Amino acid sequence: MDALDIVTNLQRVIPYYQAIFSADEHRVIGYEVLGRYRSEDGIVSLGPFFHDEAIPEEFRLEVDEVVTRKALDHFLLNDDHSLLIFLNQDANLLMMDRAESFLSLLFQYKEKGLSLDRIVLEINEPFFKGDFNQLSHLLTYIRTYGIRVALDHIGEHSSNLERISLLAPDILKMDLHELRKISSSYSYQDVLYSISLLARKMGATLLYEDIETSFQLQYAWQNGGRYYQGYYLAEPQSALLPADFLKDRLRQECHGFIQLEKKKLQILYNISEQFQQRVTALLSKYKKTASFNELISSLAAELSDVCFRIYVCDEDGFQKSANIFKKSHVWELQPEYYMKNWSWRPYFLENIVRMRSRKRGILSDLYGDIETGETIRTYSYPIDECHYLFIDLSYSYLFEHDAHY
């Protein structure tokens, strides 16, 4: 479609609205405004037009203003005046006049009764080519009017965590498109998880977009998503939906997710309880062993069906035994690990304090083992006030007991 045709036929430029749903109320909480063009062959997305840098900037700005004005007129006339309005802006164009044109347009609608705290400025961070410090200052200024900032397509491209932190968005839109690709889904989940941890520390809300399957919706629910968007829930359309459009369906699906999660947690609790009893009995059986190396050798023979590594650390993380490691079904001592310190590992000292205060063992979350690359869990147990046993459970055992996800 020729750009000149679009600019000379602005009456055919129209906004479409894609609903955004909340996890807490299961209702529509806002819409992303998308540009469309009514051609002779039907409705066409203006996404390629806005992203084509070969098209003159003034053309793109003019068409964007038409879309925005028509959308804001529609919201003033047709909604309950509480919905969030997500407006896409090219950060490169926004910086050209320090957002003067964008803010001027919004101020016109504020005079008509539009509350600016409903506006969410949505920008695509990976495509910005300017100075991020200047962009950060501009976004801070824009926020003084109550406007929120969302970074779009987080995770889809090589998102820079430092830049995300610098821009301090109110909302992170996490893209789930890559999650449908089996070849990259596990590593991609790690990327999304890292970004979600950053969002939590920043106090940013997570909005998962591009949801096209129930599996992706479940992933968003499991991973801190407060808002959801995608074709699985609602396609972009020319009219606004009733607020409770999907309420019953979302409640039903979330109920299913809750039941599955409770089942998983019950499985992990049962495994932890079984290990608590088993390890307690074994330590009682081998309480007269002369050294920690002798102890872990005895335990390895008893626990060969469930684990591949055992060792003992003190409360400061210094290893007080060798490793005993199962390689090709044979256990071997690795004395080179004696006195290595593991206090730098995430949650290590926290778990030591938990075990000491509760006098009970702890089953860890899933994580990737540094040496083997396997996905594992570790069961740790307090031997006494100063020494703690660590048992690395094999993936095959976790898989057999539905504890691998």
% of the chain with per-residue pLDDT over 70: 97
Q: Residue 332 domain-assigned?
A: yes
| 199 & 51 share domain | yes
Instruction: List the one residue out of 71, 55, 184 whose CA is nearest residue 119.
Output: 71
Give the domain extent around 312: 260-400
Residue 227 sits in the same domain as residue 287 = no
Question: What is the per-residue DSSP string for 313-350?
Answer: EETTSBB-S-EEEEETTEEEEEGGGTT-B-TTSTTHHH
Q: Which residues of the chain have pLDDT under 50?
A: 183
Residues 201 and 291 placed together within one structural domain of the fold: no
Query: Rounded to two decimals, what is the model's pTM?
Result: 0.88
> 291 and 360 in one domain?
yes
Residue 354 domain-assigned (yes or no) = yes
Q: Judging by beta carbons within 10 Å of its beta carbon (0-12, 13-18, 19+), is residue 391 exposed, middle or buried?
A: buried
**Separation of alpha carbons 255 and 110, rounded Å:** 40
Q: Is the domain of 14 the same as that of 115?
A: yes
- Residue 266 shares a structural domain with residue 211: no
**CATH (domain of 211):** 3.20.20.450
Same domain, 180 and 304: no
Sign of CA pseudo-dihedral 105, 108, 110, 112: negative
In a domain, 217, yes or no: yes
CA 328 to chain centre: 37
Domain membership of residue 223 (yes or no) is yes
65: region left, alpha or beta (phi > 0 left; psi from -120 to 50 alpha): alpha
Q: Mind listing the pLDDT tens digit for each residue in 44-79?
A: 999 999 999 999 999 999 999 999 999 999 999 987
Tokens of 392: 């690395």
pLDDT at residue 373 in the model: 86
pLDDT of residue 78: 82
Mode of pairing for the β-strands spanning 84-88 and 42-45: unpaired
Q: How far is CA 347 from CA 130, 192, 267, 344, 374, in A?
A: 38, 20, 22, 9, 19
pLDDT of residue 252: 96
> Do 206 and 288 share a structural domain?
no
Matching residue, tokens 């998308």:
34
Task: Say if 239 falls within a structural domain.
Answer: no
State whether 36 and 116 are in the same domain. Answer: yes
Q: Is residue 344 part of a domain?
A: yes
Task: Give me the pLDDT at residue 159, please.
Answer: 60
Question: What letter does residue 233 receive in the DSSP assignment?
Answer: T
DSSP string covering 360-372, please?
S-EEPPPEE-TTT
**Structural domain includes residue 342:** yes
Q: What is the pLDDT of residues 154-201, one digit of tens each?
A: 876 556 788 888 999 999 999 888 777 654 556 677 778 888 888 888
* Amino acid of residue 152: D
- What was the pLDDT predicted at 157? 57
Residues 212 and 276 placed together within one structural domain of the fold: no
Give 3-state DSSP helix, strand, coil % of the chain, rounded to 5.
45, 25, 30
Indicate the Cα dihedral angle 220, 225, 226, 230, nearest 10°. Answer: -50
| pLDDT one-digit tens code per residue, 223-233 | 999 999 999 99
Q: How many whole angstroms separate alpha carbon 193 and alpha carbon 245?
A: 30
DSSP state of 86: E
Are 272 and 63 contacting, i.e. CB atoms less than 8 angstroms apart? Answer: no
Pairwise CA distance, residues 142 & 144, whole Å: 5
Whether 227 contacts 207, CB under 8 Å: yes
My answer on whether 334 and 290 are in the same domain is: yes
Contacts of 403 (CB under 8 A, 6+ apart): 267, 268, 271, 377
> 13-22 and 362-363: which strand pairing?
unpaired
Answer yes or no: do 179 and 288 share one domain.
no
Domain count across the chain: 2
Q: Which residue, 211, 231, 251, sits at the end of a domain?
A: 231
Q: Would you say residue 55 lies in a domain?
A: yes
pLDDT of residue 56: 94
Q: What is the CATH number of the domain that holds 325?
A: 3.30.450.20
